[in-house]
Amino acid sequence: MASATPPSLPFKKSRVRVSSKSLLKHPQTLLLFIILLSTITSSSSSLHYRDHCNSIVPEPTSNGLEPIPLQFLNFHDGYFTGGEKIMPQDPEYSSYFPKSTIFRTRTLHKTETKGVLKVEARLIFSVGRISGNWTTVHRREARIYKRGRINFELRGFWSESTENLCMVGSGYSFSKEGNLVDLSVILKLNYPNISNISTSLVTGKLESVDAVDKPGYFDPIPIIAFSQKTYNYTLVSQPEKMCSGISSQEKSLGLEPGMNNICSMLYGGGNSQFQLEYKSNCSDTDCSPFNRSSGFLPRFMSVGGIQCSDKGKLRLYLGFSNSSAYNNIPLIPETSLVGEGIWDEGKNRLCMIACSLRKLNNDFANTSVRDCTVGLSLRFPKTLSIRERSIAVGRMWSNRKTNESNYFEEFVFRTSYERTTAVWGLNYEYTQVDRVRKLCGKKDVGKPGRRYPDGFSYGDMAFDLSVKNSPGNFAGGYFSPLSYGDKIYDNGFASMGGEVLEIGFENSVSVSSMPPSVEVRDSNHSLLNVSYAINFWFPAHFKWGGLPSSKMSYPQIHISAEGVYDAGTGMLCMVGCRRLDSISKKSNENLDSMDCEILISVQFPPLNRKDGERLKGTVNSTRKPSDFLYFEPLELSSNVAYGSEIKESIWRMDLEITMVLISLTLACVFIGVQIFYVKKNQDVLPSISLVMLVVLTLGHMIPLVLNFEAFFTNRNRQNLLLWSGGWLEANEVVVRIITMVAFLMQFRLLQLTWSAKIAEGSKKGLWVAEKKALYLCLPLYIFGGLIAWFLRWKMFDVVLSKARFFVGSRHSIWDYLKSYAGLILDGFLLPQILLNLFLNSKDKALSPTFYVGTTVVRLLPHAYDAYRAPNHVPQFNSSYIYANPDGDFYSTAWDVIIPCGGVLFAVLIYLQQRFGGACVLPQRFRQLAEYEKVPVVSA
């Protein structure tokens, strides 16, 4: 029986994911969500596939028969133009983050019509960041939009015979005023079924369905991308012919059969971005692989859309840019090449032919592949040295004749220095060690009893640091060990990679990750050949080599260095080389491509260092002061954290969180004892200080509100957390639970006391005494806080004025308030002492177990801090959990004063509960206290 014709397919509006937590937290979000949902529901039937796409790909009579792989029609790193109305790009980000688009299929099904597939997909537009000062409601979608992303949910059909894809769907944008704008769209793409070099592009456009006068209308947005479907190779032939004329004598690494290895080297190895190096006399018209009239001479090249096939073949596109901030450059027709390549197993190199793209007008549908006369070769050096640090090195040339148009001079490209990844069979060759030994002089004799890193632990030898020049300006830097002996570390930390270094230039603190070390130790010698990859980040007007950084081509300075490390003295001495940029070389064309007249010396602090000992060093130019590249010495400074110290700190954190658990558990026990005590002796409840109970209750409540010690938000703590195996995370949950239990028990005790005092309301003297205790406590807390703040602030200024480099920052008022709150908790018995004094009561209001036990719990952290002080690591002050400096006052003086004060308060409570509240006063004041107690007796 023939199937009935289904109704026309309506598009599926974009799904808005809003969590129940955000709805409850922000009622306005709930209201907006309801309005959006009603809008979507009411308009979902207004746009149908047949009305807009049936002429392109007719809708099948039935669909959704059999699913097929989702990657069938995907594309990444596509490019689009226009769209300013729905996503205006911030000009500040346009040069760093080009417009890009991604198409991800969500479901693919065969239909009853042969060769027609039903497609559900998401189209994503990205521009880096949206411009404008508009405000929005608090919702996740608005934040994503402001960061420069728009998502469209689409549904439609693709025809194998016509190679056309037509889809209808929706998305949303925001107006400048922050109002939600619903977008109804049609996507039309030409996606080739089987492509070759000439038909390897996906082109089309996104159109608005709304009328021109509607808020959701926008001009058509052209789209272009690199096809990911079946590909036929037409350019590759024998590698010898493609790389003809190249006679490379350098030894290169071979790859195992199959192109999966070359794909992993280019993508998985982090080698997808390259720096371009031209001859010193190159100009925009002589060396650019693009149209000479464009004036575009790129500095970076990125690999995209790579696909590997059997027999060593691959295809990809190459995107060119002048910014290193964007690793995956989209397929921009004016600045991209598409090509095919094949791996030459005989000479261990990749040979390629690439073609430029021609766009006739703003419509990408007319973009064509032309001029396949660009040749490329790529190899993987087998040996690294101070002058060659790149994992992959290549050349690009023109196969045209010199007098022909579009001819360009050959240039070299190489992987960025910050991506230094070990490859099997890769070695390091030292060429400057003899020179280093001469420049650094004789070996010094280490001081007795001083131990330094042995040089075989990455965690001990890698560090970030602050850099200071002669005018007193600060910059940041990072030293990453590359090799020890002839071995290469397999690390992605050569220059902090994609992670942003938090530079408080004069406040540098280093915490390094610790990949496993490579054992190349010679037990008979303390000298070890080492090499480093060094990065400096210079702010504007920081002078380096005769040029301020604001005029340099590169915002970062990369230095390759090698030399000798002396494990007996902790001295590292190296010669460094920096690759000269185009400005420096054009200023003096006789210059070498690298400046290797740099001497770097670093003195590591000992493992058993004293407090205040830091890493220090210098970077000097060995050139004459009259030389163009001479620079004034740079001073280096860092609070390195050795791997052994990190391990010790992890052990300490384990111990401290255990002590936190024990302390909280004991607090629960002592509170429980007091609750049990007052239930057996209910007549003592009115004599308990409400102020004291409020202080103790807040002491348990505030850590819950403030995310308990902010323990897992600190960068140092996060690094240590990675080495804890999840133990700290598990115990944090337990700590929260026990803290909640202690808070609830303390609150119950407060409730019982409050109820008892209300019941005794006729005894006005109780409330009078309570008020007097409160009125006396508040001024004491305020004035005591001011005095403590003043003393601490003055002490901080004295330390800061004497320190040449100060590590850390001035504590905020909030940090100080948290510390002072801990001091108030230490003296929790003060309100009870004052209440007993004003009541002159002999009631045993507090169980000895409660006030003695709680006092011990409060004072133990100070005893622990006094024990910890001689062996603490300054870099990990912020990782303290038990006796956290942000939670109380800790120092040698405070660790004596506070315990003495706590013991004194406990003794006073004992005396008051035995001899009366006024017993702590001199004899002449006791009669006055007895006299003031009379109103309490009469009800």
Q: Quick check: 46 pLDDT over 80? A: no
Helix, strand or coil for residue 315?
strand
Backbone dihedral angles phi then psi of residue 83, each to the nearest 5 degrees: 80, 15
Q: Could you read off the pLDDT of 892-913 as tens digits, one per residue? A: 788 888 889 889 999 999 988 8
State the CB neighbour count (10 A cutoff) for residue 473: 17
Side-chain half-sphere CA neighbours of 771 within 13 A: 5
* Pairing label, strands 463-468, 474-484: antiparallel
Q: Could you read off the pLDDT of 385-430 as tens digits, one per residue? A: 898 888 888 999 998 888 888 888 889 998 875 544 555 677 888 9
Rounded Cα–Cα distance for residues 198 and 195 (Å): 8
- Asked if residues 42 and 15 have their Cβ atoms less than 8 Å apart, the reply is no
Radius of gyration of the chain (CA): 36
Q: Could you read off the pLDDT of 819-842 as tens digits, one per residue? A: 778 888 888 898 988 888 888 877
DSSP conformation letters of 372-393:
EEEEEEEE-BSEE-SS---S-E
Rounded Cα–Cα distance for residues 714 and 810 (Å): 17
The reported pLDDT for the residue numbered 11 is 40
Q: Can you read off the two tokens belonging to residue 825?
A: 């908790």
The reported pLDDT for the residue numbered 923 is 65
The reported pLDDT for the residue numbered 189 is 95
Q: By C-alpha distance, which of 752, 596, 748, 597 is closest to 685?
A: 752
The DSSP letter of residue 267 is I
Average pLDDT over residues 304-330: 82
More confident residue, 119 or 12: 119
The reported pLDDT for the residue numbered 804 is 35
- The predicted model scores a pTM of 0.64
The reported pLDDT for the residue numbered 1 is 41
The reported pLDDT for the residue numbered 646 is 61
Most confident of 170-174, 549-553, 914-918: 170-174
Q: Could you read off the pLDDT of 849-899 as tens digits, one per residue? A: 999 999 999 888 888 888 776 655 555 555 567 777 666 777 778 888 888
Q: Could you read off the pLDDT of 630-651 as tens digits, one per residue? A: 888 999 998 876 655 666 666 6
Q: Quick check: 338 pLDDT over 90? A: yes
Rounded Cα–Cα distance for residues 481 and 487 (Å): 11
Spell out the SS3 assignment of 125-176: EECCCECCCCCCCCCHHHHHHHCCEEEEEEEEEEECCCCEEEEEEEEEEECC
State the CB neighbour count (10 A cutoff) for residue 902: 20
The reported pLDDT for the residue numbered 421 is 52
* Pairing label, strands 427-428, 383-384: parallel
Q: Quick check: 718 pLDDT over 50? A: no
Q: Could you read off the pLDDT of 371-395 as tens digits, one per residue? A: 899 999 998 888 888 988 888 889 9
Q: By C-alpha distance, which of 544, 678, 549 is closest to 619?
A: 544
Mean pLDDT over each residue of the chain, to the nearest integer: 75
Average pLDDT over residues 221-227: 93
Average pLDDT over residues 931-936: 48
Q: Can you read off the two tokens belonging to residue 540?
A: 């504007």
Q: By C-alpha distance, which of 226, 411, 490 is closest to 332?
A: 226
Weakest mean pLDDT among 95-109, 138-152, 265-279? 138-152
Helices (H), 310-354: none
The DSSP letter of residue 431 is S
